[in-house]
């Protein structure tokens, strides 16, 4: 059993001394001991479903193609672009962010299972693909919104996942009032959705164990949220290095689905 530690240093030393097998045992002990586990996830959770992330070598950032060559990648997903060159944003959005047919992967299903078993309070995700809900998770805080929802910028009528992708108009038009229908994703230059972000903060502050997966914590939002965590155990699962490894009990540089599946 994981003992009570006299100091942070003693705790770090203990966890660093563990072999891979011992880490798997420790992961299960932490999960068993914790009553409020929260998962904070980034793009790496969805890359195993075939959704490209933004900045990695094969990410959207480096693959915008000739059609969008003259635009900065951030501009193509910015509020500036939405209001100044909406036809460009919608063209880019339709070509690159249609995740309607994408299927959840092992990580999504395992997290849904953990919630059903009462082992997980909720998920905070930076992803806009809706894959956690497709896998069956219920408490999902989408802090960057969802590409599967849309609404009118004027009358706020809500439209589903298909509306923007199937609209024949270059700029999708609200049937109720004739104004633009936009995706419910947080664009560059916009503030995060109040409700999801507030719920995310509460989840993190009440958590005694935080599992961070698939994010390098380089971008502000996830890092800011992670710093709100003051619970007992921090676990990081990411293929590359992440910023908060010094504070983590357990660090796995591996596939998220594979490591989550170690949980019994």
> Applying CB under 5 A, does 169 fall inside the site for Zn ion?
no
What is the bridge-based pairing of β-strands 145-152 and 181-185? antiparallel
Q: Pick the catalytic residue: 108, 132, 144, 233? A: 144
Interacting residue with Zn ion among 25, 102, 171, 177 (CB under 5 A): 177
Rounded distance between C-alpha atoms, residue 27 and residue 31, angstroms: 6
Which two three-digit tokens encode residue 210? 């935080």
For the CB of residue 192, give the shortest distance to Zn ion in the complex, in Å: 23
Residues 6+ apart with CB under 8 A from 20: none
Interacting residue with Zn ion among 33, 35, 58, 155 (CB under 5 A): 155
Nearest CA to 236 out of 251, 214, 217 is that of 251
Whether 227 is catalytic is no
Residue 155 or residue 218: which is nearer to Zn ion going by CB? 155
Size of the site for Zn ion (CB under 5 A): 8
What is the helix (H) or strand (E) element at residue 66, kind and residue range?
Answer: none
Interacting residue with Zn ion among 111, 152, 225, 256 (CB under 5 A): 152
Planar angle of CA 64, 69, 73, nearest 5 degrees: 55
Residues 6+ apart with CB under 8 A from 201: 225, 228
Which range binds Zn ion by CB under 5 A, 4-12, 25-33, 144-152, 203-211? 144-152
> Applying CB under 5 A, does 180 fall inside the site for Zn ion?
no
The DSSP call for residue 4 is P
Interacting residue with Zn ion among 16, 176, 190, 224 (CB under 5 A): 176
Residues at the contact surface with Zn ion, assessed by CB under 5 A: 152, 154-155, 157, 174, 176-177, 179
- The catalytic residues are 144
């Amino acid at each position: 059993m994981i003992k009570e530690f006299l100091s942070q240093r003693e705790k770090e030393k203990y966890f660093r001394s563990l072999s891979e097998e011992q880490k798997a045992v420790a992961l299960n002990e932490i999960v068993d001991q914790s009553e409020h586990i929260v998962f904070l996830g980034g793009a790496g959770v969805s890359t195993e479903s075939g959704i490209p992330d933004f900045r990695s070598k094969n990410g959207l950032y480096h693959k915008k193609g000739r059609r969008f060559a003259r635009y900065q990648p951030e501009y193509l997903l910015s509020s500036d672009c939405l209001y100044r060159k909406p036809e460009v944003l919608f063209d880019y959005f339709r070509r690159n962010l249609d995740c309607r047919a994408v299927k959840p992967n092992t990580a999504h299903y395992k997290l849904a299972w953990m919630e059903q078993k009462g082992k997980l309070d909720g998920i905070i995700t930076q992803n806009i693909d809706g894959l956690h809900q497709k896998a069956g998770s219920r408490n999902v805080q989408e802090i960057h919104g969802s590409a599967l929802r849309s609404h009118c910028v004027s009358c706020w009528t809500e439209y589903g996942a298909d509306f923007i992708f199937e609209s024949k108009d270059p700029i999708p038009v609200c049937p109720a009032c004739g104004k633009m229908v936009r995706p419910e994703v947080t664009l560059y230059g916009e503030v995060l959705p109040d409700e999801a972000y507030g719920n995310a903060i509460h989840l993190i502050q009440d958590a005694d164990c935080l599992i961070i997966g698939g994010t390098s914590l380089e971008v502000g939002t996830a890092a800011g949220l992670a710093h709100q965590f003051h619970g007992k155990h921090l676990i990081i699962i990411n293929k590359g290095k992440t910023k908060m490894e010094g504070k983590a009990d357990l660090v796995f540089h591996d596939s998220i689905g594979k490591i989550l599946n170690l949980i019994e």
